[in-house]
């Protein structure tokens, strides 16, 4: 007999279900008519349709498309049931559900082995082991399940019951700040009864868990009193374990105490999947006698692809060749082009090594430095010499640009690495009045020249940059053509810009670790509070702005999401949702709170 859950949480008989006996009768009629070739085709068809319609209920077709979220209409036991002694929990939906998606989002704290039985819109969850005595359980259904039309719920569902005569009433609430928070798992680990340094989420399951809803809001309920560590995981395998390299991860900025009627608030972010694997050098190929291609295991960071990061010698270690240039291949970020001025002997086997463990060592885009195990390869040079001449293939701005910032990003990209010696002689930087502009030279990569003005450029003024290509020498010892390239640009007119006089509430001294980010879709600037907690933005385009603050505890200039093991908290942060408008030619006064550190 199937059951339907009444409003009171009790179960009552549910009619309209086809019995096993009726199923057998229907099958016998179908097979009898077919096997004996009786010409009652219509009766045969009707009988089978009736049977299969009953056995596989589907929502009626027709009408406008269903876009409403699924809801749980009934459940048993009743919410906050005490002295629970049954062997199952039952829930009923208002629609027919995608069953697999529902089962992937069912969980219970503390953990219990379960099995599932469906009957139409009703799901029964049976416990395969005895529940603990005098224990509060939280049965939860996350937010990433859907009905047959793909509609998902707007928030998670929790059903609380106890096997004793008391319910734990502790709670933690918060928000996950992320572009797609729905379905992210929020895990709580009790740490007041263990050494917190031994907690490793890569093999320890949480004491409690829930999921963030579509807005990022989450609630952990029915907690025992104690101290808790909170983390967020986009759990790909839904195994309650943090899988490094597979799952996205974010730690809370601090641990929280659950006691009495207080409800701690924890806001946290989740970072991208962590790449903890060092890149490997797979192979080397001689494209010419002075041009070689290296293949790595993953995309590499162009800022660390430089000649000094590589060494070349013959396979016997008797002869060395100087690497004069290196760059990412235009074909793939997993490939690096290496150049020498002098051709290598194509009759010899050569060994190239990517130096390991140094500040100049190559690294992947996640910052992992190449190790000293898979950092070399052997190759034969190919006959012929690379004679590519240097050409400028990318300017920092289109010629005659009108809105270049006061501190411009002047990066010039070449088709081949260029030599750094005497490079300043190839560059001329002047203003519209032909006055020289002082500048420094840097290289992001051996083929990306960066020109850095020593002083701020003047608003609404035109500037000109000239590069004499015949004074540029490539890493293969080829010179550029006898031509001069010009870039003309004007610094943006900031006379209509506004400003902000800011202060951090309750801060009385300078704090360079506190980063204040002011941003919108078109502009972004970062500052820190000075004496008295005050900060100033003197020139900012008019418009509406949002604000984000965080404590840069590790001093790397960017937000850190924490580490799972050895554990590190994330950096405390604060997102201010309310936009502030900066009018043209006007300085606004603004006081902001500091992020909560505990």
> What is the reported pLDDT for 241?
95
| Residues paired with 248 in a beta bridge | 234
pLDDT tens-place string over residues 357-405: 899 999 999 999 999 989 999 999 998 999 999 999 999 999 999 999 9
Phi and psi at 349, nearest 5°, equal -90, 135
The per-residue pLDDT for 62 is 62
How many CB atoms sit inside 10 A of residue 340's CB? 23
Distance CA 370, CA 311 (A): 14
Residue 274 has pLDDT above 50, yes or no: yes
Considering just the CA atoms, what is the radius of gyration of the chain in Å?
33
* CA 406/CA 361 separation, integer angstroms: 33
Span 20-31, mean pLDDT? 43
pLDDT at 59 over 90: no
What percentage of the chain exceeds 90 in pLDDT? 82
Look at residue 118 in the predicted model and tell me its pLDDT.
97
The least confident of 7-11, 191-195, 475-479 is: 7-11
- CA–CA separation, 105 vs 210, rounded Å? 10
Note the pLDDT of residue 295: 98
Band of pLDDT at residue 58, cut at 50, 70 and 90: low
pLDDT, residue 61, reads 61
Task: Classify strands 256-258 and 320-321 as parallel, antiparallel or unpaired.
Answer: unpaired
Dihedral over Cα of 182, 185, 191, 196: its sign: negative
Q: What is the pLDDT of residue 39?
A: 45
Give me the mean pLDDT over the 558-573 stretch. 96
Looking up tokens 């709580």 gives: 188
Per-residue confidence (pLDDT) for residue 432, from 0 to 100: 96
151 pLDDT exceeds 90?
Answer: yes
In the structure encoding, which two tokens stand for residue 586, read together?
């006007």
Q: Kindly report, residue by residue over 422-433, the tens digit of the pLDDT.
A: 899 999 999 999
Sign of CA dihedral 300, 306, 308, 311: positive
For range 196-223, the mean pLDDT? 94
Asked which of 19-33, 286-300, 536-550 is least confident by mean pLDDT, the reply is 19-33
Model confidence at 60, pLDDT cuts 50, 70, 90, reads: low
Distance CA 283, CA 300 (A): 15
What's the mean per-residue pLDDT of the chain? 90
With bands split at pLDDT 50, 70 and 90, how would you rate the model's confidence at 156?
A: confident
CA-to-CA distance for 442 and 178, rounded, in angstroms? Answer: 36
- pLDDT mean over 474-497: 95
Least confident of 6-15, 143-152, 218-227, 474-483: 6-15
DSSP 272: P
Q: Let me know: does 514 contact 594? Beta carbons within 8 Å.
A: yes
The band of 154, judged by pLDDT with boundaries at 50, 70 and 90, is confident
pLDDT in tens, 93-127: 999 999 999 999 998 988 899 999 999 999 999 99
Longest Cα pair distance anywhere in the chain, in angstroms?
105
Tell me what pLDDT residue 22 has. Answer: 44
Phi, psi of 405 (to 5 degrees): -65, 160
Name 515's Cβ contacts closer than 8 Å, sequence gap at least 6.
526, 527, 528, 549, 550, 551, 552, 557
Tokens of 6: 């009444």
What pLDDT shows up at residue 235?
Answer: 93
Q: How confident is the model at residue 261 (pLDDT cuts 50, 70, 90)?
A: confident
Is a pLDDT exceeding 50 seen at residue 258?
Answer: yes
Closest by CA to 230, choosing from 200, 186, 176, is 186
CA gap 213, 234 in Å, rounded: 13
How sure is the predictor about 64, in pLDDT bands with cuts at 50, 70 and 90? confident
The band of 57, judged by pLDDT with boundaries at 50, 70 and 90, is low
pLDDT at 577: 85
Mean pLDDT is lowest, of 29-33, 144-148, 499-503, for: 29-33
Please state which of the ranges 25-29, 493-497, 536-540, 558-562 shows the lowest mean pLDDT: 25-29
Q: Where are the alpha helices (DSSP H) in 149-254?
A: none
């Amino acid at each position: 007999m199937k059951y339907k859950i009444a409003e009171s949480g009790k179960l009552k008989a549910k009619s309209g279900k086809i019995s096993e006996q009726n199923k057998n009768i229907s099958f016998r009629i179908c097979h009898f008519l077919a096997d004996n070739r009786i010409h009652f085709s219509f009766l045969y068809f009707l009988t089978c349709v009736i049977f299969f319609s009953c056995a596989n209920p589907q929502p009626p077709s027709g009408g406008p498309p269903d876009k409403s979220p699924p809801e749980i209409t009934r459940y048993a036991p009743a919410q906050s049931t005490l002295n629970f002694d049954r062997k199952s929990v039952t829930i009923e939906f208002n629609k027919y559900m995608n069953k697999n998606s529902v089962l992937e989002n069912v969980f219970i704290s503390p953990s219990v082995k379960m099995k599932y039985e469906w009957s139409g819109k009703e799901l029964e969850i049976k416990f395969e082991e005895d529940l603990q005595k005098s224990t509060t359980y939280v049965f939860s259904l996350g937010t990433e399940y859907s009905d047959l039309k793909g509609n998902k719920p707007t928030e998670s569902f929790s059903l609380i019951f106890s096997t004793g005569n008391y319910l734990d009433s502790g709670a933690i609430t918060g928000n996950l700040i992320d572009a797609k928070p729905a379905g992210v798992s929020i895990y709580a680990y009790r740490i007041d009864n263990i050494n917190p340094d031994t907690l490793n989420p890569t093999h320890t399951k949480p004491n409690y868990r829930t999921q963030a809803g579509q807005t990022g809001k989450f609630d952990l309920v029915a907690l025992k009193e104690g101290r808790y560590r909170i983390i967020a995981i986009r759990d790909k395998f839904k195994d309650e374990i943090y899988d490094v390299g597979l799952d996205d991860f974010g730690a809370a900025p601090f641990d929280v105490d659950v006691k009495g009627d207080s409800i701690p608030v924890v806001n946290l972010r989740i970072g991208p999947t962590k790449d903890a694997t060092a890149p490997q050098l797979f192979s080397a190929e001689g494209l010419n006698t002075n041009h070689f291609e290296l293949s790595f295991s993953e995309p590499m960071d162009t800022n660390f692809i430089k000649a000094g990061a590589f060494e070349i010698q013959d396979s016997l270690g008797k002869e060395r060749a100087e690497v004069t240039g290196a760059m990412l291949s235009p074909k793939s970020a997993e490939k690096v082009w290496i150049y020498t001025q002098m051709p290598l002997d194509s009759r010899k086997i050569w060994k190239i090594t990517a130096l390991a463990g140094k500040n100049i060592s190559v690294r992947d885009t996640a910052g992992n430095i190449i190790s000293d195990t898979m950092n070399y390869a052997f190759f034969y040079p190919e006959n012929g010499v690379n004679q590519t001449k240097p050409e400028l293939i990318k300017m920092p701005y289109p010629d005659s640009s009108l809105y270049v910032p006061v501190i411009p990003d002047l990066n010039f990209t070449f088709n081949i690495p260029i030599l750094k010696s005497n490079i300043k002689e190839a560059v001329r930087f002047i203003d519209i009045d032909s006055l020289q502009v002082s500048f420094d030279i840097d290289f992001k990569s051996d083929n990306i020249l960066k020109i850095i003005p020593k002083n701020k450029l003047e608003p609404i003024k035109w500037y000109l940059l000239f590069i004499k290509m015949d004074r540029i020498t490539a890493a293969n010892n080829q010179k550029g053509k006898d031509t001069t390239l010009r870039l003309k640009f004007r610094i943006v007119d900031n006379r209509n810009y506004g400003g902000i006089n800011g202060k951090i509430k309750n801060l009385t001294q300078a704090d360079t670790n506190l980063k204040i980010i002011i941003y919108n879709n078109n502009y972004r600037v970062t500052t820190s509070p000075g004496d008295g907690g005050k900060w100033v933005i003197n020139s900012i385009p008019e418009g509406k702005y949002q604000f984000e603050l965080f404590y840069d505890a590790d001093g790397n200039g960017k937000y850190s999401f924490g580490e799972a093991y050895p554990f590190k908290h994330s950096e405390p942060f604060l997102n201010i949702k309310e936009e502030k408008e900066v009018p043209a030619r006007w300085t606004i006064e603004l006081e902001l709170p500091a992020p909560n550190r505990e």
